[in-house]
Structure formats: structure tokens, C-alpha cells
Homo-oligomer: A and B are copies of this chain.
Amino acid sequence: MLSHANRDRLLVVLVSPRNPLNIGAAARAMANFGFPRLAVVSPYSLHWREARSAVGAPTLLQNAVECASLAEAVAGCTLVAGTGTLAHRKPEQLVIPLPDLAALFLREAARGGRMALVFGPEKRGLTRDDLSFCHLLVQIPTVPEQPSMNLGQAVAVCLYDLISRANDPAKSAFDPPLPELQPDRGSNQPASSATLERLAGIVDQTMQASNYSPAEMRGANSHDLRVLLRRLALTEQDARRILGLFRRILWRIEH
């Protein structure tokens, strides 16, 4: 059984959910499988209020965190997994099939990290920009003719998979070789999303201050930088060291 402490290391994030029934269904699946932590990014406020006040809404909906941006929602997480299909998309992140996620989650939890599992809005799913905050993209093995799942069902399927694989010692999550996301560096913790965002911010400023980015390339360069920083699998110590370096560089440029 996945321990309470480990379930607490998973944050479910719903980005701009529209339908209150879907929010309720996602929360119900979380309650069914015992995951207490939910964050909602810029929900439509009327629908959000409706979902929270629904009869029988689980307590975790009352305790859900409301965030203005995905960056804010995942700030405390060290591994951010987006969900979606590969239809019409050539992802910049590592793509893993859902059955491989449990092993990554358990490893992250074992070294003190926290994972966010991010679901996009019903109609369009996660955007390329949303995905730039993710370390990897999790693919649910749907058929090509009907790839897109209902939001509440996608949440249920992902959480069930985590529970059922962590549950079963015969199919140990640590047996298959894991994709090397973050090479182990002794007691060093993986960098949190908040630290990576601070780092991205200062590198961005430096790129502008040094006239690296022409105005029309600024958005694309910021995006590429975010994707790159997540692929590097920095430890918190790495990230802080580089942050210090760029602060120094920026100060030199500006003075």
C-alpha cells in the first residue's frame, strides 16, 4: 500500500477546468484513492464555487489551493508530470507511458521530493507553454481513433495506476531500469520548481540585459530556457550555484 506520507507527496493540478462536474469527479477519484492535495490554476470562478459547494463534495475540495499560474501551483514540486495525448503534438519533454510513472514517483518520494500531476482543460488539454513547466509528459495508452479522455476519468486512471503499482511488491517499481531523469547525487535534493523558475527568471533578465534576445525572439527563448532547465535535472545545490553566478553577471552588466 502506498503510505499516507507518500500520498501526501503527490499534488494533483487542474489547469483551468471548466465543468464543475469534472472538478467534482476529479476530487472524488482523489478521495477514492486517498490523495489529499489538489491545486486548481485559474478556474472559472463561478464553476469553481459551484463544484466546491456541491452536495457531497469531498473535504479535499475545500482544502484545495487556488493559484493564478501553473508556475505558482508547482513551485514546491521537484518533479512535474503533464498528462495528455501525443495527437497533434511533438513534445519537447521526455514522454513516458503511464505504467512507468509509479516508479519515478516512488524514487522521487524516497529522496524527499514531491511530484505534481498536471491535467489540462477539457477542450484543449495542456498547451506547449504549460508543458514547459513539466519535466515529462505522461501518456495514457488510449487508442488512436479516440485518444482524448474525459478529465475525471483521466484523473481516476492515473491515480489508480499509482496506487496499484505501488501496491504490488511482486511487480516492484524499482526492477526495470528507470529513464535517467535526475542522476543521483548523494544526499543532494532535486531542484524545486520554484528554484528553477527563479533561475529561469534571472537568466532571462541576463539575456535581455546583454541584448542576447531580440524582442521578437524573447518569448521563444524564455520557453526554450524553461524546457532546457527541466531537462538538465539540476539538484537544488546546482541550481542555487548557477543562480548566484547569474546574479553576479547581471549586476556586472547593469553597473
Contacts of A28 in B (CB 8 A): 146, 149-150, 153
Contact B99 A146 (CB under 8 A): no
Contacts of A29 in B (CB 8 A): 149-150, 153
Contact of A164 with B98 at beta-carbon distance under 8 Å, contacts A152-B152, A156-B156, A157-B156 already known: yes
Binds B, one of A65-73, A121-129, A135-143, A211-219: A135-143
Q: How large is the interface on A (under 10, 10 to 19, 20 to 34, 35 or more residues)?
A: 20 to 34
Could you tell me which A residues sit within 8 Å of B by CB distance?
A: 21, 25, 28-29, 31-34, 58, 98-99, 140-143, 145-150, 152-153, 156-157, 160-161, 163-164, 167-168, 170-171, 176
Give 18 new A-B contacts, CB below 8 A, not counting A31-B143, A32-B142, A99-B168.
Answer: A25-B150, A25-B153, A28-B146, A28-B153, A29-B149, A29-B150, A32-B148, A32-B153, A33-B142, A99-B164, A141-B160, A141-B167, A149-B156, A150-B152, A157-B157, A160-B161, A161-B164, A170-B176
